[in-house]
Structure 1
Amino acid sequence: MPDVSLITMNIFDSIGAFFQSLYDQFVFVFIEGNRYTLIVDGLKNTLILSVFAALIGILVGLIVAVIRLPSNSLKTHNKFVGFLLAIPNWLANAYVSIIRGTPFVVQLLIMYQIIFGKSGMDKMMVAIIAFGLNSGAYVAEIFRAGIQSIDKGQSEAGRSLGLTSFMTMRYIIVPQAIKNVLPALGNEFIVLIKETAVVGYIALMDLTKAADFIISRTYTAYMPLIGVAIIYFIIIKILTKGLGVMERRLRASDSR
């Protein structure tokens, strides 16, 4: 008969050795040489980039969505005036088509190496603009669908109250549309955060780039990559939880 106590002791010794190995590797990878500061800096840049790019994306997306609304395709008997009125709509359609039809990494490199290549602009600003414009194309479609989901009677009610088209859109249509598309906007923000992992192509320090630096110095990939993946996972889970709370509050306000 095998000695149960000896087997149990061996199992606990193996578990203890495993966790000790993880601890030693954690200290070696992150603590020694203060390499954890790379992760901290990368996390800070990732959050800054994501937040400001999302703000630009929402602003650009809302403007483009309003321009692309079918109701804004104004008709006129003057061909020249009609041509001028059609230019913003054409530009908005071209912007959305180009952004959605090309890989983001290519867009980022074009921004960094061609458009702002000789300007000396800060890499973070270039990345914010690139991510913001990319996100704006997708947000525009989200807003456009949200605005078109609002009943036409809302616009007619606004005009019957003496509001201009702009005031009706600003005070009646857009607030309701934002409320309807808020979950989709939250998902777009989550996607944006994960997409920032490619910003290393322009040598900007983010979480993923920080992991690359640590790997190049420690010659071990397990702990840096798993650690960065866990950080991304925690961020996304927090955002998802927050979005869930907002959705429940919106549903509660609708039922009142």
Structure 2
Amino acid sequence: MNLDFSQIVPYIPFILEGIWATLKFVSVSILMGFILGTLLSLCKITKTPLLKWLADAYTSIFRGTPLILQLMIIYYAVPQLTGYDISAFLSAVLAFGLNSAAYISEIIRGGILAVDKGQTEAAEALGVPYKPMMLNIILPQAFKNILPAMMNEFITLTKESALVSTIGYLDIMRRAQVVGSDLYRNFEPLLFAGLIYWVIVYILTSVGRLVERRLRQSD
């Protein structure tokens, strides 16, 4: 086997810089997805047909089309339609954030529906308005139940983040590709990138298990 990992040693700091680049846009995306997903989930359980239809249509579109297609549309179509030269970072945040919102909305909706109906009935009987009831009673209980699922979404988003290499964003994968083209050796830098992704996911998985264990102990 023609393998020589020593050649990528000088490039290791360059590839490692991709960790920050990756986690930066993934963190912003998951925050955006969480906020928008929360709003969508509330629209899905509302009694207003139009809001429910719009939220369901949004979820159907973003869950029914490939993430890479959404990324390409945002990165290439926005300059064409608006004349605004959108950056790779902003394209990545928008694509991953909007896509993640569709999945997070379903997670939160499930968490809300899992809360005992007696909580809602008791709040309504006490005359608590809808907004304070959701913010102070229902959502806190729902979020506690969905934290493991949210952590899983964060892990999934981190793995899928490698797709942004297709638009030139210098994440872990793109940096490994740059090193490969520079050395004319692709296996070694790509394998190193795979190791980095595995370590990140392992750490996130361990954190998720710790959070889940803490939640079980607090019940």
Match of 1:114 among 77, 94, 106: 77
State how far apart, in whole Å, the 1-side matches of 2:86 and 2:123 are. Answer: 45
State how far apart, in whole Å, the 1-side matches of 2:150 and 2:108 are. Answer: 9
State how far apart, in whole Å, the 2-side matches of 1:253 and 1:87 are. Answer: 39
Q: Is 1:91 equivalent to 2:54 in the alignment?
A: yes
Give the corresponding residue for 1:73: 47
**CA apart distance, 1:38:** 2.7
Match of 1:45 among 16, 21, 33: 21
State how far apart, in whole Å, the 2-side matches of 1:44 and 1:90 are. Answer: 38
Shift in alpha-carbon separation, 1:109–1:186, aligned structure 2, 3 A:
same
State how far apart, in whole Å, the 2-side matches of 1:127 and 1:206 are. Answer: 11
**CA apart distance, 1:116:** 4.5
**Aligned with 2:196: secondary structure?**
helix
**CA apart distance, 1:235:** 0.6
Name the stretch that deviates more: 185-194 or 219-228: 219-228
Write out per-residue CA displacement over residues 155-194 of structure 1, whole angstroms, 9 at most, x where no aligned residue. Answer: 1122233321111111111111111111111111100000
State how far apart, in whole Å, the 2-side matches of 1:102 and 1:66 are. Answer: 23
Write out per-residue CA displacement over residues 210-252 of structure 1, whole angstroms, 9 at most, x where no aligned residue. Answer: 1111110111122211111111111111111111111111111
**CA apart distance, 1:149:** 0.8
Q: Is 1:243 equivalent to 2:208 in the alignment?
A: yes
Name the stretch that deviates more: 221-230 or 58-67: 221-230
User: In the alignment, is the contact (CA less than 8 A) between 1:197 and 1:206 conserved in 2?
Assistant: yes
Write out per-residue CA displacement over residues 90-117 of structure 1, whole angstroms, 9 at most, x where no aligned residue. Answer: 2211110000111111100111111344
Give the corresponding residue for 1:9: none
Q: Could you state the TM-score of these two structures normalised by the residue count of structure 2?
A: 0.93
Write out per-residue CA displacement over residues 197-222 of structure 1, whole angstroms, 9 at most, x where no aligned residue. Answer: 01012111111111111110111122
**Aligned with 1:210: secondary structure?**
helix
Root-mean-square deviation over aligned CA pairs: 1.7
Q: Is 1:27 equivalent to 2:3 in the alignment?
A: no
State how far apart, in whole Å, the 1-side matches of 2:39 and 2:96 are. Answer: 17
Q: Which amino acid aligns with 1:27?
A: S
User: In the alignment, is the contact (CA less than 8 A) between 1:116 and 1:126 conserved in 2?
Assistant: no
- The runs of 5 or more residues in structure 1 that have no matched partner are 1-20, 75-85
Give the corresponding residue for 1:228: 193
- The runs of 5 or more residues in structure 2 that have no matched partner are none
State how far apart, in whole Å, the 1-side matches of 2:141 and 2:200 are. Answer: 28
Q: Which amino acid aligns with 2:206?
A: K
Identical-residue share of aligned pairs (%): 40
State how far apart, in whole Å, the 2-side matches of 1:123 and 1:168 are. Answer: 40
State how far apart, in whole Å, the 1-side matches of 2:88 and 2:13 are. Answer: 20
Q: Is 1:135 equivalent to 2:111 in the alignment?
A: no
State how far apart, in whole Å, the 2-side matches of 1:228 and 1:55 are. Answer: 25
**Aligned with 1:48: secondary structure?**
helix
Give the corresponding residue for 1:175: 140
State how far apart, in whole Å, the 1-side matches of 2:79 and 2:213 are. Answer: 43
